[in-house]
């Protein structure tokens, strides 16, 4: 998962995309339907805490408040793991935010169904592989890149212009701190030394690397950047949108 319509970007996974030499080969935009799960016989008023993945907690924040749950909200590694943890440790004061399928797998009851704050809650997942796929032009493709630059924030405008000039639509831009060089110093004799954060920029755009316009855009981007990597060029998810439901 890389982004959610309620919780925003999943920053750790953006960092992991850069750290590991894997390639994005596809994407899926999946409606997310959250449930509040507990051991059989447990009632909501008995609960002292709710556990789940940080994104799930943020996606259900307002609904949990509306349910009148005066509980501690605790982040764990994943939603299904939260359900498994409750079942394995027989925790009768703890509920999990997870799917109805997790309730079925771990023998939990559903205390509340569809507790996401918005019924149009959707998460975008990317599929990763050791080898890239061959880009094509017979269907809509998306390309993901990451870049850095050494010449200040004005370069970002030039990079974005390379896409705008070729009528290439951007669907996502995400900035993350540059771990190896977090601060850039700019000396000015009149006002002293300015300190700016350095960033890595992740960009998704609607074009295949098999297209000449995409190749030319990246060739131009490379002129302005100190680092550029294509994370993947892959088919766009064109599945018709259908909000999540209890079915």
> Is the CB of residue 33 less than 8 Å from the CB of residue 244?
yes
Task: Please give the CATH number for the structural domain made up of 3-30+124-235.
Answer: 3.30.70.260
**Is pLDDT of 247 > 70?**
no
All structural domains of the chain with their residue ranges? 3-30+124-235, 33-112
Read off the pLDDT band of 193 (50, 70, 90): low
Read off the pLDDT band of 181 (50, 70, 90): low
**Is pLDDT of 190 > 70?**
no
One of 3.10.180.10, 3.40.190.10, 1.10.4080.10, 3.90.190.10 is the CATH number of 33-112, namely: 3.40.190.10
pLDDT in tens, 81-123: 999 999 999 999 999 999 999 999 999 999 999 999 988 889 9
- Which residues form the catalytic set? 123, 125
pTM score, whole prediction: 0.79
Query: Could you tell me which residues come within 8 angstroms of residue 192 by beta carbon, excluding any fewer than 6 positions away?
Result: none
3-class SS at 225? coil
Same fold, 3-30+124-235 and 33-112: no
């Amino acid at each position: 998962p890389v982004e959610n319509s309620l919780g925003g970007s999943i920053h750790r996974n953006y960092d992991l995309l850069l750290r590991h030499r894997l390639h994005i080969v596809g994407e899926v935009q999946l409606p997310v339907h959250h449930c509040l799960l507990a051991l059989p016989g447990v009632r909501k008023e008995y609960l002292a805490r709710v556990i789940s993945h940080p994104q799930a907690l943020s996606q259900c924040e307002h609904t949990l408040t509306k349910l009148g749950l005066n509980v501690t909200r605790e982040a764990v590694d994943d939603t299904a793991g939260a359900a498994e943890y409750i079942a394995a440790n027989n925790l009768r004061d703890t509920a999990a935010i997870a799917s109805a399928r997790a309730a079925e797998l771990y023998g939990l009851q559903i205390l509340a169904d569809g507790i996401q704050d918005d019924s149009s809650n959707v998460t975008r997942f990317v599929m990763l592989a050791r080898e890239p796929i061959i880009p094509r032009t017979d269907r809509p493709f998306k390309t993901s890149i990451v870049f850095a630059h050494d010449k200040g924030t004005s370069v970002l405008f030039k990079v974005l212009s390379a896409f705008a000039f070729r009528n290439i639509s951007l669907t996502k831009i995400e900035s993350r701190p540059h771990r190896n060089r977090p601060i850039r110093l700019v000396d000015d004799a009149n006002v002293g030394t300015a300190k700016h954060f350095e960033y890595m920029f992740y960009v998704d755009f609607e074009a295949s690397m098999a297209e000449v316009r995409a190749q030319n855009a990246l060739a131009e981007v490379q002129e302005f950047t100190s680092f550029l990597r294509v994370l993947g060029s892959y088919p766009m998810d064109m599945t018709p949108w259908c909000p999540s439901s209890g079915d």
